[in-house]
Structure 1
């Protein structure tokens, strides 16, 4: 028995019934406007008491509803109501206003269908329950058999009285079935009429791509700034531990370098994390650039032990800001790789030059000294991929590998164009 009534009066059916009644409430202003039009046209003043004129007002009001559904808020409001009341998968519905003509047409069709079925079911919900209740109570209460109530004469006969409760119950079940059927119809058509079109899918894909680009950029910034700082601090602390008793002056310099490195890294980390916190403004620490901090980067890295030869054949202050910023991170990653994989005493050469409208960056160190790349920490290699990503986003190119008995990182960035 429960399985019979669940499709008619279960939780999903009741919520869909409420959704239909909401459509009936929304259609009422349009019906009133329709009555204002139908009354003078028909020449009758009984618009609100004549069923044919009421149906005519309803028919006139629905096209008006279709026109007003072109407002941008119609689809978001309809989608919210469907998600809350119709039991439709939220992922099958579109978000935001309709953008294209086709999407607006589907929204108008949905709005008209919802208000049309809602108006019918709402009218039935107001009139059928009292009528069914009267039929059910008719054999018990003689006063209900008054002919002035407009009941059929057959109900005054004995067999008619006996069948009246059955007819009343059947009427109520028919109402529930009609509401359940209309609710199921709306739920079935909702994904087709309110679902995402091609434009919505493209907009969602662009939003996901933009979000992924931001996430990847934050990951690169964290890897390059924090990874370089940890590599440098590890080497400085290791050297200071070895020379603690024999060279106190070197230990003091190493500790000062550690302090400077960590202070700068904390500022950069705060700037990156500020973007991740909802409602927080980004950190105030400026992004490092070649113009602002190349000398400091080289000085801090030399404090870790390796001799670094730097050849800068361009004016860093003349570089576009975005190129200067990305180039700084690329040089930083190249030095970090040299420290991690070649050892702390291997000479490193850094060359930065402008060639044919491009900025070329080369970071090179000899092979065969210090720990090999195979001994690198597990999960390594993200830095070189980050360098390639930075170069590609600016329209440049990057290559890393063995060349002439050395490990070489070579990057070429355009000074104009995508930047």
Structure 2
């Protein structure tokens, strides 16, 4: 019994009934406007009790409603009501205003159907239940037949009086069936009339891509700036601890380098978090560049005991600002990998060259054992690959055998790390014009 009653009186059916009642409430202003037009034409000054005037007003009001539905807020408001009351999956409906003529036409069709079905069901919900209740209790209260309820004369017969309760219950079931049927039809038509158009899907995809790009940028910036700083500070503190008693001067230099690194990292972190704001706040530290910050990066790296030989034949001051910023992060991540995987007493070589319209960055360091790994690690090389892909360049990274990178090749789409045997090389080529 419960299974049979659920389509008519279940939660979904009740919520859809409420949705139809709201449609009827929205239709009332348009019906009143239609009555102003229809009443004089039919020579009637009464709305209530005059069925032709009511039907004519309803017929005139619906086209007016279709015209007003062309306003932009209509589709998001209607889609929100359908999500809340009709049991339609949220992804099946559009979120914003209609962007094209076809979408606006479908919105007008939906609004007209909602108000049309809603007006009919609302009228039935007002008229049918009282009459049905009178029929159900009529055999119990005979005096109701003598009141001014305008009951049909057929109810004066005994057999009709006995069947009146059955007719009342049937009328209530018919009302519930009509409401459930109209609600189901609207729920079925909603995705087609209020669903996202190809333009809406494209706009949503672009918004998701933009959000993902911001997230990836934040991840890269945080990894390269904060990750490098933590690696450098850890190495500097470790080196200072080992020579605390034997070389106080080195300890003072290491502590000064730690202070400088942390202070600078706070500024870089503020610049990265500025991406999350509506705009960079006044006074926010600018992002570091190869032209302005390479010397400081090398100084802080060497302060921890790392021996870095730098050969810079390109003029960083001539690089475009975006290229200079990304190149700095690539060099920073390359030196950070040296700190993490090669140790403080291994000599590393950094070369920054300009040739054939490209900026070449090479970081090399000798390795003697397996490349250490850590859970969740390996994001640095992927970050470099992402930056290089955005700049339209190429990148390789891996162990060098016979002058050729033979393991752990990195491309813009694939990042792997091979066994660390011999020399590890990171080589990046970036076009100095174009995508940068």
**TM-score where L is the length of structure 2:** 0.88
Name 2:391's counterpart in structure 1: 394
**Deviating more after overlay: 223-232 vs 4-13:** 4-13
Per the alignment, residue 84 of structure 1 pairs with 84
Q: Corresponding residue for 2:301?
A: 301
Q: 1:158-237 counterparts in 2 under 5 A?
A: 158-237=158-237
Q: For residue 252 of structure 1, what is the aligned residue in structure 2?
A: 252
Q: Secondary structure at the match of 1:17?
A: helix
Contact 1:391 1:397 in 2 (8 A): yes
Aligned to 2:53: 53
Q: 2 CA distance for matches of 1:339 and 1:89?
A: 51
Q: CA deviation at 1:277?
A: 8.2
Shift of 1:331: 0.6
Per the TM alignment, residue 280 of structure 1 is displaced from its structure 2 partner at its CA by 11
Q: Is the 8 A contact 1:271 1:284 kept in 2?
A: yes
1:7 aligns with 2:7: yes
TM superposition shift of 1:186: 1.4
- How far apart are 1:78 and its partner, in Å? 0.6
For the 8 Å contact 2:396–2:427, the answer to whether it is kept is: yes
Structure 1, unmatched stretches of 5+, are none
In 2: Cα distance, 1:328 partner to 1:280 partner: 21
Match of 1:72 in 2: 72
Query: Paired residue for 1:407?
Result: 424
Change (3 A) 1:407 1:2: closer
- Coordinate RMSD, CA, aligned: 2.5
Distance verdict in 2 for CA 1:119–1:361, change over 3 Å:
same
Q: For residue 288 of structure 2, give the secondary structure of its aligned residue in structure 1.
A: coil
The 8 Å contact of residues 272 and 282 in structure 1, kept in 2 or not, is answered as no
Deviation at 1:32, TM superposition (A): 1.9
TM superposition shift of 1:23: 0.2
Counterpart residue number, 2:435: 418
SS of equivalent to 1:351: strand
The answer to whether 1:381 aligns with 2:378 is yes
Cα deviation, 1:219-274, whole Å, max 9, x if unaligned, reads 11121112211221222122112111111111111122122212222332344346
- Measured after TM superposition, the shift of residue 96 of structure 1 is 1.1
SS of the residue 1:311 aligns to:
strand
Unaligned 5+ segments in structure 2 are 404-421
Contact 2:367 2:424 in 1 (8 A): no
Q: Equivalent residue for 1:98?
A: 98
Where do 1:215-364 residues align within 5 Å?
215-273=215-273, 275=275, 284-364=284-364
Q: CA deviation at 1:50?
A: 2.5
After alignment, is 335-344 or 272-281 more displaced?
A: 272-281
Q: TM-score normalised to the size of structure 1?
A: 0.91
CA deviation map 1:37-67 (0-9, x unaligned):
3234445445554312321221222222222
Runs of 4+ that moved beyond 6 A: 277-283
> Larger deviation: 142-151 or 206-215?
142-151
* Cα distance change, pair 109–134 in 1 and its aligned pair in 2 (3 A): same
CA distance in 2, matches of 1:378, 1:334: 20
CA distance in 1, matches of 2:280, 2:334: 32
When the two structures are aligned, how many residues end up with a matched partner? 416
Go from structure 1 to structure 2 and tell me whether the alpha carbon gap of 1:282 and 1:7 turns closer, same or farther (over 3 Å shift): farther
